[in-house]
Structure 1
Amino acid sequence: MATGGSSIYKGSDLIHDYSCSKCEENDLNTEATYFCPQCEHYLCDKCVNLHNGYHNKHTVYGRGDIQKWAGFSLDRCDAHGDKLKVHCDDHQQLCCSVCVALNHRLCSSISHLPDLAKGFLNTAEFKQLPKEVDKMRNRLDELSNARMKDQVSMNDSYKNIISEIKAFRKKINKILDKLEKKTVGQLDRQKEDLEKIIKDDMESCVNMNNQHKTMMEKIQQINGKHKETNSYIGFRICQTKLGETKSAMLEIQKKPTRRISFKSDRSLLPFLRNLNNLGDVDSFLSMPKRADGDHVYKTQSSSCYDVKIKKDVSKCHIVGICELPSGEVVIADHYNRRVKLLNNQYKVTDHCDLPSYPQDLCRTERYDIYVAVDSWGTLHEVHSLSVTRGKLQAVRKFTTNHLCLSIAIHQGQLYVNDNNSLYQYTMDGELVKEIYKSSSPDRTICKCTVSPDGERIYVTNYAKQEFITLDKGGQVLSTLEDPELLWPWGLCVCPSGNVFVCGKASNTVLQVDRKGRKKLATVASKADGLCSPSSVCFSEHNSSLIVGNLNQDQIIVLNTFKQ
């Protein structure tokens, strides 16, 4: 294991960004100038020569390739390179001595890593890690393959669009060819009309010219004893023809000269110049299709599991349930003011007491639990808990200026509601905005949860007995009422997007479609052990529904199957 990094060593006040691993073994503080990734050792000028003698086939990186030095040591701080020694419980961070000195001096709880690690190899969390990593890697492979298919689809779309553009261009060319042909036809007709007029005038001139020529030839050929009389007659006829010809010429000369002209449609060029392209090219969001769709679930059998512990002084009221990746279950016991951790057999293995009544809980993608705590008086808080080595541990909390009656989480955003409003918070407790507000004076918001894609927020309206679906901006998309959904209370969404909601007064758990518009099935009823169900959670590990009832010391596990 590499042992370089920024640290302060015995007998020296010098701080190196990376120290020689071999020198450190002899309690010497020498700056490293090389790194061997095969050995995961940082080496000084002296030790690198010894290393190269033993490992002449290893590739050693110098300071010029220092970007290749980092990231080889699990037990080293990414920020400072020093050895990780403690865990800040307040911030849930692994820390080296430099981290503590710079950023965690004021933290209230810091644990020594060897103490935290005792017995950790035997915990369910650690044993579950390979399975969780394999599961995540499979999901990454699936996502990568899906993106490869998206790339192929994108290239196919590109080729199809190119074909569409060329086909559109051909259509435009055909239209232009047609317009050109029509315009040339108009030109041809105009030319034909003008040619006929000109041809007729030219023929008239030729005919009159020939008539005058013939007449003069005949007059000049007159002879004999009647030459003088006949010449006079010819003269008079010729004079008449000259008058007629003069009039005809005047008529031709009076005609205006006709020319052919072309005036293009000036609106076409500006229109074409103003076009940016032949059409709009844009990308659009295509939500991934779910492989399983809205499968309808039905209860096959039900079982009861006791969740009461010796410290409990009141009847249990389980108002919140969530399942951890390890298969462990965390529940919020309202009347006994505590959060309880259950193992895979639903047996209570640990608990964490709270200052007031938990109203609801949710979890992050890992093992962090967020609990809405409220006294219906002056205490309005959100508590963060962690699960480590099968133990619940309080991490931090923040206070709100409104009731905290329900809580949900999606991609680093918390959703907390009071009686009539739904608020969005950061994970650190900073108010982002009020998403939804009801004008009714009654309790209109009981519980809330978020769809896996974050596009919809589901809310149970206790006063109006409605199941409401909001978009992520808080606009109402749909409202559902059903005679088997009386006093709607707890609800949950499984990873595939299927939605389940409790009818507290109807003693039912209904399945609702993703859009929140219709009931798909009554999954469970009083016959399955439901009695004022207040909370529900879908278990990924065994496809079951875990239900918490009002004033009962047991949880109900409904074994379901897809119809």
Structure 2
Amino acid sequence: MRFLKASYKKQLQEISKTRQKLNEILDEMEKTTMKELDDEMTSLKASVKTDMDNCIQLKNELTQLSDALKEIVDKSKAELLFVASKKCLEKIKHSETYLKENSVQIKSSLTFQANSDIQQYLSKLSGLGRILVCTQAVLLYDDPDQIFTVQGGSLKSLLTASFSEEIFYISAICVLSNDQILVADRAEKKVKLLNHQYQVVGHCNVNGYPCDICQITPSEVAVAVDKDKTNEVQFISVNDGLLSNGTTFQFEHKCIGIAYNLQDMYLSSGTALYKYSMQGDMLEKLYEDTSALKTGNIMQY
């Protein structure tokens, strides 16, 4: 269910990204169309201004010639009257020709014609895409907080039909939140990383017999290690299929069981249950019963 919810959340983000991309495309198309509208408006305004400037210039020239003729007539300069009259007639003819060519008033307007192909195409679409259900075979127990009880070799007998001969004695198993499988091989004193075909794809040595494993972070586990006078918790990181040793805490009591909850670490010595900080400091002894060899095993439900 956790994986399903994560995939649902991711697909919501993908749908939002798709919508955002479409918005960006439409925004760019709108900018291009608006620029085309502005360019046409600028061109039409320039044409109208040119016509107005020409009319004003002709009017000014005719006015100047008219004033010059009046001055010549007043001063009785007959020799200049002929030349001025000729120029005036030429300018009048030029003005009449221009006005005749531009006698029809043209009213310009701008019209936007939408691309119907875009609207028709979008109207035929029922959604932004298709929702597909992808299935993949995974382990039934994908909860990293779930504990598997191993009695003798029963778990090993159940799983070794799928495991290769690279695993000899399973003492603990842990499934990380990203579905990576870790098993403790007591016989070889190793923690091994398995793929979904239960083949060993990585391993890491520990200093004794790995008795138990618990998850600390999505990429880190803690291993309870015990052998003779070796009583310790060894942290192992898992990154890109590679296992690497981290911090090691040593204890005076045996370490055969381990659990992690609310930033605290719980260790079992077999007859007692201890609570430790993640810095390796003992906070309290929660339980002790020395009436038998294993009365303080860690159990989770």
- With normalisation by structure 2, the TM-score equals 0.45
- Taking CA–CA contacts closer than 8 Å with sequence separation of 6 or more, which of the two structures ends up with the larger relative contact order? 1
Higher helix fraction (1 or 2) = 2
